[in-house]
Amino acid sequence: MDPRIRKMMSSLSSDVGFDFSLTHTAAQVNLSVSRFRHLFKSETGTSVVQFVKALRLKKAKELIETTPLSIKQIMTEVGIKDKSNFARDFKKTYGASPVKYRHKFQSEDDETPTDMAAVFTNK
């Protein structure tokens, strides 16, 4: 993989909450926007914008699973501004809206200790 693309993928992955600018990102590796987009797509198979969106959704999913932050706070943390686009993209990617995903995820966590307790009490 081209070292410039690897560098930008690492940089983009390290801080998903940044205010993304294709112009600024391309300039960081001394490429025109057009050349950067072409090179990124040919090296990764996805566009830069899709890559950033996937990173943000993945980070949002992690935060939903591991923190008590509100969905609005999570959106701010990962750099997403539009709630309806976020909900639509999250649902398309993970099969449930962020709120329903959190509820489902918490329900699964709540069942595990109960099931384990039943295993130990039924000796």
Among 48, 54, 43, 56, smallest CA distance to 2 is for: 43
CA atoms of 9 and 51, how far apart (whole Å): 9
CATH T-level topology, domain 3-121: Arc Repressor Mutant, subunit A (1.10.10)
CA atoms of 87 and 98, how far apart (whole Å): 6
Number of neighbours of residue 15 by Cβ within 10 angstroms: 10
Cα angle value 13/17/18 (rounded, 5°): 85
Q: Residue 59 has what pLDDT?
A: 94
pLDDT in tens, the chain (123 residues): 888 899 888 888 888 887 788 898 899 889 999 999 999 999 999 999 999 999 999 999 999 999 999 999 999 999 999 999 999 999 999 999 999 999 887 877 655 454 544 444 444
Tell me the residue type at 14.
S
- Spatial CB neighbours of 76, under 8 Å, sequence gap ≥ 6: 17
Crossing angle between the packed helical segments 48-66 and 83-94, to the nearest 10 degrees: 80
Helix (H, G, I), strand (E, B) or coil at 31: coil
